[in-house]
Amino acid sequence: MKPGVRTIPFVKASACGNDFLLIDAALAPSDIAAFTRRICDRHDGVGADGVEWMSPHFSADLAIRLINADGSPAEISGNGTRCVATYVCATQGKERVAILTGAGPKICVLTARRDSEYEFEIEMGKATVEPELALKTNSGEVRGIPVSMGNPHFVIIVSEFTRNWQSQAAEIQKLPQFPDGINVEYVTVDSKFDLRARFFERGAGETRSSGTGSCASAVAAMSTGRADSTVKVHAPGGTQTVRRQGNDIFLRGPARLVCQGEFYLG
């Protein structure tokens, strides 16, 4: 490295193929959106679905600020939060991690560990389910269930995944009904306890998994009588488990530390 070239250290973690870079927020450049886009680029950067910018906080083990790969802010990622909990557990040995997110405080409890992979159950809080909504798209009418997990979701229950679901999801995200954007899930019901899901997220596009998306998918299926608690949500990146206890939603799944390094600013 040339003298005077500034670098920013990072840790990369992945939860069911949903990958994030964990960085000390004190090191954030003035244009945090532009830097996040650069470091998340999968060709000229490290590559990730987003950056969890971490800060100390008096009421939690860490406070985190999520910036998506496209530089846009987001309230929370269930998988990103689990990645941060994995980092805290690995570096501090804690088995109960309190993390302050943009959607409020979340408690992550370690349930299993194997080498660099950790499994946590997170108290995700209460879900808000709205009545089914019909949308007009270029490929026809789409009916889905709006769900909030502290961030917005639109869950479409289908009999099978179609070829054009990504382009349809991208169109839905830009509809005027969702001025702040929306996370879109396509869900097939295999049984009362097994769902399959595909995710198209704000600021990242198609992802291999989603923590809040898995919760929203399960909640939508439960609210319409298609699923019971506890339900497994199977995605291309892996399986997560969602259970409902009263009005509270709990998410369980693995996360692992992938690597650490330094990113050149110059």
- Give pLDDT < 70 ranges for the chain: 1-3
Using a cut of 0.85, tell me whether the model's pTM lies above it: yes
Q: What is the pLDDT of residue 115?
A: 87
For 16-79, give the DSSP string: TTEEEEEEEGGG--S-HHHHHHHHH-TTTS---SEEEEEEEETTEEEEEEEEETTS-EES--HH
User: pLDDT value at position 3?
Assistant: 62
- Residue 147's SS3 state is strand
pLDDT at 139: 87
Q: Which residues pair with 45 in a beta bridge?
A: none
Give 7-52 pLDDT, tens digit per residue.
999 999 999 999 999 999 999 999 999 999 999 999 999 999 999 9
User: In the chain, what is the straight-line distance between the N-terminal and C-terminal CA atoms, in Å?
Assistant: 11
DSSP state of 220: H
Question: How far apart are alpha carbons 195 and 6 in whole angstroms?
Answer: 46
Choose among 233, 212, 237, 195: nearest CA to 16. Answer: 237
Q: How many residues does the chain have?
A: 266
- Separation CA 50–CA 191 (nearest Å): 32
- For residue 23, what pLDDT is reported? 98
Return the pLDDT at 5.
Answer: 79
The reported pLDDT for the residue numbered 254 is 97
pLDDT at 116: 86
Of 174, 188, 163, 162, nearest in space to 135 by CA: 174
Q: How far apart are CA 135 and CA 141, in angstroms?
A: 6
247 vs 187: CA distance, rounded Å: 22
Domains of the chain: 7-123+253-264 (3.10.310.10), 128-252 (3.10.310.10)
